A = this chain, B = another copy of it.
Amino acid sequence: MNRGGGKTGAQVLVEAVAAGGVEVCFANPGTTEMPLVAALDAVPAVRPVLGLFEGVCTGAADGYARIAGKPAMTLLHLGPGFANGAANLHNARRAHSPILNVVGDHASWHLPYDAPLTSDIVSLATPVSGWVGTVGSADDMSRTTAEALTAARTPPGHGATLIVPVDFQQEAVTETHAGASPRPAPQPAPVGADVVERLAKRLSGGSRTVFLLGAQALTEPGQRAAERIAAVAGATLYSETFPATAERGGGLPGLDRLPYFPETAIKALAGARTVVLAGALEPVSYFGYEGIPSLLAPPGSVEVLAAPGDDVVQALEDLADALGAPVLTHGRAAAPDGAHLPEGPLTPGTVGRIVTALLPEGAIVSVEGGTCGYPFFTASADALRHTALTNTGGAIGQGLPAALGAAIAAPERQVIALQSDGSAQYTIQALWTMAREQTSVITLIASNRKYSILQTELTRHGASLAGPASTALTSLDDPALNWMGLAHGYGVPAERAETGGELARALRRALAAGGPRLIEMAL
């Protein structure tokens, strides 16, 4: 493979990535990535994790980045392989997750011939990447890889897509260009004292204030600082609707998320004279509905304390200090009552209570889908301390891969994927990698055999559910998915629960067993 002596371009790339602190590569490679695959043999610092479908790899890199706070690498095959991973890169972009996508391309001299697998990778990558670049020679490998990694780690975090023609992977790199040149990770920008002072003055005026917390404001220190501000300024605290990560439970403030539907979100913000953005973006309706404004906060109310890439925790602490807010002391929160759980037929509400009660300390909960997601958030302020991940960009098929990536990032923590059945199907192959890597992920499938959100939206659009087309396109019951079969197919032990008692027993068994497990919750 290396025909000129010394290191190949592929080795230089993998070494540069490793020198930059990347430890995992979620990969679904093809022919044009084979030198990189061989280089992963030569550089054991980067652990390869195989996905059977690219959306598993990109979603796992997103979940990994959210928990590890640093990028994983993905390895994807040409334009179509990248496209298969694009939906979860869209979510990662909205989560501000740092990810380094490495995409092989045809040999540079072969590209002009428009071979069958040739396509415009840049056009496919640009909408879901914060940085896109193409390696121009083997000697360019180290520099461009470092640039991509820096772009990925520039706060608040970006998807950087590095396109690497296969000839430059194979060629020998001149010795002077073969060294890795890691750069320090860029730091969040500090928020100016003037911004803090102006806000402190405005809040002292006793105006009705809502804080919308996002990004790092949803860490424990961020929430503690926000809690101090709320206590002295009488402000209301909300989490952004779909946080990338949110620390919850264990005595943290029981933050509600800003509601999903615009009518309720507008109502929640209606009385505010000031809506302070602390790591969150200005709230916008998820979809546009006729007669309802796109912007949810009252006109003129929005003040930015910190953008997602700023040092929002420090800014909140500075603001709390400027307001003279005392530091609060917190006793140990009461553990939830696991002894008196609902026994009857499962409902989304009882699922939320049971999962809340049995959640181990330090768990990670990857939530996708509304059916059980909202009831879980309602209940889980009372759970032990845990980290919640949500679907930030609305591209479905994010929950299982993100759970997988989180488990790779934190093998000592229990991961729960609380997952709707319809959305699980987009990246169902994630189950296989969970089994292969023996990750501690318990997948709870909310099995209601329909696209529930679409039936709601049809009603909102004024359509009845009576028509055959709209019934056919929103129902999943003909045939019903057999979740035991699917889990078995991918090597994940599974059982089915129809009552609260069955769910609690199944969940306890799964927690005790360790390793991957799937529980179908029949709703």
Contacts and interface: CB of A to CB of B under 8 A. Distances in A.
Interface of A: 1-3, 27, 29-32, 34-35, 37-38, 40-42, 44, 48, 50, 52-53, 55, 79-81, 83-84, 86-87, 90-91, 94, 106-107, 109-110, 112-117, 119-121, 123-124, 126-128, 166-167, 170, 242, 284-290, 294-295, 392-397, 422, 425-426, 428-429, 432, 435-436, 453-454, 457-458, 460-463, 466-470, 472-474, 476, 478-491
22 contacts: A1-B461, A34-B457, A34-B458, A34-B463, A37-B470, A38-B461, A40-B469, A40-B470, A41-B469, A50-B472, A79-B127, A81-B395, A84-B86, A94-B116, A109-B288, A110-B294, A116-B393, A123-B127, A167-B290, A425-B429, A481-B491, A486-B486
Contacts of A112: 294
Contacts of A470: 37-38, 40-41
A117 B87 CA distance: 10
Contact of A486 (B91, B285, B435, B485): B485
Nearest to A47: B469
Given A115-B287, A288-B110, A48 B86 contact: no
A79 B44 CA distance: 37
Contacts of A90: 79-80, 83, 119
B473 A106 contact: no
B117 A127 contact: no
A441 to B, nearest CB: 15
Contact of A461 (B121, B170, B436): B170
Contacts of A429: 425, 428
A80 B127 CA distance: 10
B41 A80 contact: no
Given A37-B473, A41-B470, 8 more contacts: A48-B473, A53-B425, A80-B87, A83-B83, A84-B84, A109-B294, A117-B286, A123-B126
Given A463-B34, A481-B490, A454 B29 contact: yes
B290 A170 contact: yes
A452 B68 CA distance: 34
Contacts of A453: 31
A239 to B, nearest CB: 15
A468 B295 CA distance: 52
Given A31-B457, A290-B3, A488-B485, A113 B83 contact: no
A119 B128 contact: yes
A104 B268 CA distance: 29
Contacts of A52: 422, 425-426, 476
A394 B123 contact: no
Contacts of A170: 290, 461
Contacts of A480: 491
Contacts of A121: 127
B115 A285 contact: yes
A288 B107 contact: yes
A287 B396 CA distance: 33
A489 B481 contact: yes
A120 to B, nearest CB: 4
Given A80-B87, A113-B295, A483 B473 contact: no
Contacts of A120: 126-127
Nearest to A84: B87
3 tightest A-B CB contacts, nearest first: A41-B467, A110-B288, A80-B395
Contacts of A127: 79, 119-121, 123-124
A479 B432 CA distance: 7
Contact of A458 (B38, B84, B487): B38
A269 B136 CA distance: 33
Contacts of A81: 87, 395
Contact of A115 (B40, B117, B284, B479): B284
Nearest to A75: B473
A351 B94 CA distance: 48
A490 to B, nearest CB: 7
A128 B467 CA distance: 33
B479 A485 contact: no
**Of listed A34, A55, A120, residue having the most chain B CB within 10 A:** A34
A106 B170 CA distance: 44
A115 B240 CA distance: 13
A326 to B, nearest CB: 37
Nearest to A121: B127
Contacts of A41: 463, 466-470
Contacts of A479: 432, 435-436, 490-491
A288 B1 contact: no
A87 B83 contact: yes
Given A29-B454, A426-B84, A469 B48 contact: yes
Contact of A489 (B3, B53, B242, B486): B486
